[in-house]
Amino acid sequence: MRSFIVGTAGHVDHGKTLLVKALTGIDTDRLKEEKDRGISIDLGFAFLDLPGGKRAGIVDVPGHERFIKNMLAGAGGMDMVVMVIAADEGVMPQTREHLDIIQLLQIGHGVVALTKVDLVDQEWLALVKEEVLEFLKGTVLEGAPLIEVSSVTGQGIADLKAELSRLAGRVERRFSAGPMRLPVDRVFSVTGFGTVATGTLVSGTASVGDPVEVMPQGLSSRIRNIHVHGKKTERAEAGQRVALNITGLEVEQIPRGSVIAAPGHLKPTFRMDVRLVLLQGAKTLKNRARVRVYLGTAEIFGRVRLLDRDELEPGQWAYVQLELEEPAVAVRGDRFVIRSYSPMRTVGGGSVIDTGPVKHRRYRKDVLESIATKERGTPGELVRQVLNGRPAMLTAGEIARTAEIDGRETEATLAGLVQSGEVVRLEGDGAGYYLSGELYRKWSAEVVRLLADYHREYPLREGYPKEELRSRRFGDLNSRQFQLLLQAMEADGIIRSGPKTVSDPAFEPGPGPGLEAKLAVVESKYRESAMQPPSWDDAAAAAGIEHPLAGEVLHFLTRQGVLVKVAEDLYFHASALAGAKVRLAEIFEAGREITVGEARDIFNTSRKYTLPLLEYFDREKITRRVGDLRVPGARLKG
């Protein structure tokens, strides 16, 4: 059964609650004070089944000026409105304020119910109808059907139901495929079950057992039970009035204004970019004015930062930044209303454009253009804006949340942008990240430049150390993202990636002509000294190699296998060690075991070098120590 929400609106004592009862048989005044005073104070709820398998959830709002904030808590979830105007009084102050709210929230589907027609004559009724039609001109309800009704006699009730059924076909279906989101308008406790929160499910679906988050508090919970219009169900869809029994939380932790949502979907914010429209009858709004912001079911104090002017005149609109005194949650496109701080009057409202902006500098053309793109942009423009505005690699889900567009639409948009080359996709081990093609090309050019400088400064090194490159230039990327970036650059022929270093694909470490001669001197000294090698400092000094280049040369020679480190500050030429190994093999083949003294004679060296050599051969499994003797090691046996 398709569901949608119908809300009432109108002045106090114009018969809204009695009309709902005549339509549905349900008395929505549930509080004792409401019964005693004969007026609605808080929101009331009912439902009405209409022809064609449609069910209207009805939100009955209070009409008294003192309870406008309660009216606003219910208005945000309305798909359609019944503007109630009593025929004996006509348009009254709260009729006007409620219509202003309907206009600001852009509730474009509605019908006008002229109530109490049994109390007036036809001549008076004609005058009231003329007044109402004039009143509605230029608003979202201009041209709305006008039904004459009496909740006492039943006149017009059937016509009103028929009109609601007709209008229901025009109401755009709420998006059930999106993340679940339910602004809380009422919360209470049920013995044996615990906390129950009610509201209109504005997007997504809710199922028993689903994990949820209560925002902006950031509290985790789970759905234990679901009721829709008083009946238990396993699943609720967008557009329905829903009661959620959730686990592990107390009533006090979920005040009206909270939002129950799918985990990870919403982020609390103290700042929002919005389009703000100031009502024609409001006073001039100054920059930094303190206001009451009504968003969803929440009421939050905040200040209005005008970005392109110092004052906003009545009837004008502007891009502004709302600075909130408490955290709030919203998504792009949500409607809001603002009322003056004191005295409390509805003065304007509009739509949310960005829920996570930085604090903008005023009078910046680029800031205003960016907000305009965010407001009116196509999915492609919004995705580009997200990727171009952040030097980072993002998942499709992160992009969807930041751009505040549907996940499936984001995926389709990204696929097209990847195909056109505007966006680069990096994927590995099931992880997919996106970055703008411009950013990828910028990073690639920067890496090419860094490598050229590095190879010029350190021609003997294999390449730029990966971790140093990440920490110095790509610190915002985690290790996985950095590896995917390097893989993409290697696949594009931009770099060569080794186990620990990155280099230009054409680069080979080696000395230039001037250094090559010095390396030849060093190698000659080590080769000639054989088993009694010089210290590295002496060899480097003899070749004219100074610090810090000496360390680079030593690293290069050991990496190339020309010199072998046997112990700390002790290096041998590889050919000398190879000869020593051959000599050991010959002796061991003869069945001999050797002592340190015999090894000294075999190596033709001093005890200073013999012990480090034997310990080196032990580590390399060429020899094995047994007491004071050396016997063949595993590698020599093999």
User: What is the side-by-side order of every strand in the sheet holding 501-503?
Assistant: 464-465, 501-503, 496-497
192-230: string of b/e by CB count within 10 Å (b at 16+)?
A: eebbbbbbbbbbbbbebebebbbbbbebebebbbbbbbe
Is residue 392 included in any domain, yes or no?
no
Peptide bond preceding 216: is omega within 30 degrees of 0, i.e. cis? Answer: yes
Do 555 and 533 share a domain, yes or no?
A: yes
Query: What CATH number does the domain containing 233 carry?
Result: 2.40.30.10
Of 368, 397, 424, at which residue does a domain stop? Answer: 368
Q: What is the CATH number of the domain that holds 568?
A: 1.10.10.10
Q: Are residues 140 and 277 in the same domain?
A: no
Three-class secondary structure of residue 501 per DSSP: strand
**Would strands 623-626 and 570-573 be described as parallel, antiparallel, or unpaired?**
unpaired
Asked whether residue 185 falls in the same domain as residue 87, the answer is no
Domain at 111, CATH number: 3.40.50.300
Could you tell me the two tokens for 141? 């309800």
Residue 67 lies in a domain: yes
Residue 442 lies in a domain: no
Would residue 390 count as lying in a domain?
Answer: no
Residue 44 and residue 61: Cα distance in Å, rounded? Answer: 7
Q: What is the DSSP letter of 620?
A: T
Q: Which amino acid, residue 535? A: S
The helix (H) or strand (E) run that includes residue 625 is strand 623-626
Cα–Cα distances (Å) from 328 to 182, 228, 238, in that order, read: 14, 26, 21
Are residues 163 and 199 both part of a single domain?
no
Nearest C-alpha neighbor of 245 from the set 180, 188, 183: 188
| Exposure string for 555-581, b = 16+ CB within 10 A, e = fewer | bbbeeeebbbebeeebbbbbebbeebb
The DSSP output letter for 546 is: P
Question: Residue 92 carries which DSSP code?
Answer: -
Give the integer Cα–Cα distance in Å for 398 and 435.
12
| Bond from prior residue into 145 cis (ω within 30 degrees of 0) | no
Domain count, the chain: 4
Q: Flag whether 18 is in a domain.
A: yes
Q: Are residues 164 and 295 in the same domain?
A: no
Domain termination residue (choose one: 241, 261, 281): 261
Separation in Å, CA 456 to CA 166, 442, 446, 452, 547: 77, 21, 15, 6, 17
Specify the pLDDT at position 34. Answer: 35
pLDDT along the chain (638 residues), means of 10: 78 85 74 40 69 77 55 69 92 89 87 93 93 93 94 92 86 68 90 90 91 96 91 89 92 94 92 95 95 92 96 96 96 90 89 92 92 86 84 87 81 91 86 91 95 89 92 90 94 94 92 82 92 92 85 88 93 94 91 91 92 94 92 81
Q: What is the CA radius of gyration of the chain?
A: 39
Closest-CA residue to 622 (of 599, 605, 597, 601): 599
* Residue 291, strand partner residues: 302, 340
Q: Which two tokens stand for residue 49?
A: 């089944």
- Same domain? For 94 and 32 the reply is yes
Would you say residue 360 lies in a domain? yes
The pTM for the full model equals 0.67
Q: Which of 110, 138, 168 is the last residue of a domain?
A: 168
Measured at the alpha carbon of residue 615, what is the angle toward residues 610 and 621, in degrees to the nearest 5? Answer: 125
In a domain? residue 189? yes
- Residues whose CB falls within 8 Å of the CB of residue 606, separated by 6 or more in sequence, listed in order: 532, 600
Which residue is it, tokens 């985990």?
263
Residues 189 and 131 in one domain: no
The SS3 call for residue 464 is: strand
- Say if 379 falls within a structural domain: no
Nearest to 10 by CA among 163, 125, 141: 141
Full residue range of the structural domain in which residue 222 is found: 181-261
Is residue 146 within 8 A of residue 159, CB to CB? The reply is no
The label of the residue with tokens 């970005």 reads 307
Asked whether residue 59 falls in the same domain as residue 191, the answer is no
502, 453 Cβ separation under 8 angstroms? no
Both 100 and 29 in one domain: the answer is yes
Are 504 and 518 in contact, with CB atoms under 8 Å apart? no
Residues 213, 128 within the same domain: no
Supply angle C-alpha 455, 460, 464, rounded to 5: 45
Contact between 311 and 284 under an 8 Å Cβ cutoff? The reply is yes
Q: Which two tokens stand for residue 351?
A: 């739509």
